[in-house]
Amino acid sequence: MSIFAIGDLHLPLGIDKPMDIFGGRWENYVEKINKNWQNIVSHDDVVLLCGDLSWATYLDEATKDFEFLNNLPGKKILLKGNHDYWWTTISKLNAFLDKNKFKDFVFLQNNSVLCDDVAICGTRGWKSPFDKGFSNDDQKIYERELLRLRLSLDEGKSLSDNLIVMMHYPPDFEFYEILKEYNVKKCVFGHLHGESGWNNATIDERDFLVSADYLRFSPLKIL
């Protein structure tokens, strides 16, 4: 089993909102995702999908996007991004999978997923308190996301000492402190696009930027 990660697929198959208008790397991006994924991911592998999966507003609008992913190999672990407006309660999400007979999907929210001897943990994250315009409402969301990360890691730690964290937003200083506290081996995140975003990303032996356009729409093997 190998573990791959990619984020920000922004699939438009259920609604007419393709990313091709941004040109460059985004041209024919759905075809690129399909080809690259098929070439490197096997049915025994795991793919961490780090948010902003679909442009759908409502869950039923995301059906074609899930059909697309369902036809790709591997187990998919999904995390909510800031544009995943279709994301509802876990019970409704799981009922959606059952209704459509979609297999090998797991939603990550306040929980963890054991893959062999690796516990996959994580949360969406949020903008940094140092960002311009950070409000009191942002602070509440930020603190909730810190708590959700701890809940996920506590469960993961009960399953394995080998922890991988997936986030949508890049982890800032308070999230980093939690990652250090739990001795997280690897952290993957997305959200950042374009040269200006990529240049501000922290990328090292533990932390990986996996925005789809940054990866040229090819899942990154992290383990």
CATH class of 3-221: alpha beta
pLDDT reading at 23 higher than 80:
no
Question: In the chain, what are the domain boundaries?
Answer: 3-221
Assigned token pair, 105 = 């999907």
**8 A C-beta contact, residue 111 and residue 80:** no
pTM: 0.95
Q: How confident is the model over 155-184, as pLDDT tens digits?
A: 999 999 999 999 999 999 999 999 999 999
Q: How far is CA 74 from CA 103, 123, 203, in A?
A: 10, 21, 25
> Which among 215, 155, 144, 213 has a CA at the least distance from the CA of 182?
155
125-161 pLDDT per residue, tens? 999 999 999 999 999 999 999 999 999 999 999 999 9
Taking alpha carbons only, the member of 192, 194, 195, 197 closest to residue 211 is: 192
